[in-house]
Amino acid sequence: MDYTVFISHSGEDTWVARQLSSCFEEAKAKTFLDESNIAIGAKFEDEILEALRKADELVVLITPWALGRPYVWLEIGAAWFKNIPIIILLLGVTPAEFTQKANIPVDLKERNLISLNEVDRYIKELSERVAQKASK
């Protein structure tokens, strides 16, 4: 049984998102990355929603560019509604900068935020969740 991580990011952060996807796949998780998993010409929004329905958790790469992207916020909202883990991964934004923004939902401000430099810790925890799901 697959454990799927949906990676939310802005277009400017695609290279970093690809690197994260590779690392998560090394941890035996399946990943959904729009630029890799959606065919050219496909109904983008339908594919995004279907992938979120199947996702076990959401990793959001928050950068200065991502903060203003509507799809990032829609993906967060869908994951919140589905009640799956939402991991906020910061790059170029400090935790204080993130939490001080007026439009950030309180639910996100109350989460443990990690910087890209701490992604190894997340990957270790992800590996444990993947193994736990596989053993069921």
For the stretch 94-124, pLDDT in tens is 988 888 875 777 778 777 789 999 999 999 9
| pLDDT score of 37 more than 60 | no
How many secondary structure helices (H) and strands (E) does the chain include?
Answer: 7, 5
42 to each of 28, 38, 136, how far by Cα in Å? 27, 7, 34
The pLDDT tens digits for 44-94 are 667 778 889 999 999 999 999 998 888 888 899 999 999 999 999 999 999
Q: What is the pLDDT of residue 29?
A: 96
- Unique residue bearing structure tokens 């910087």: 115
Residues 6 or more apart whose CB falls under 8 angstroms from that of 50 comprise none
Q: What is the pLDDT of residue 121?
A: 94
| Mean pLDDT of all residues in 23-49 | 75
Residue among 108, 99, 126 nearest 6 (CA): 126
Prediction pTM value:
0.89
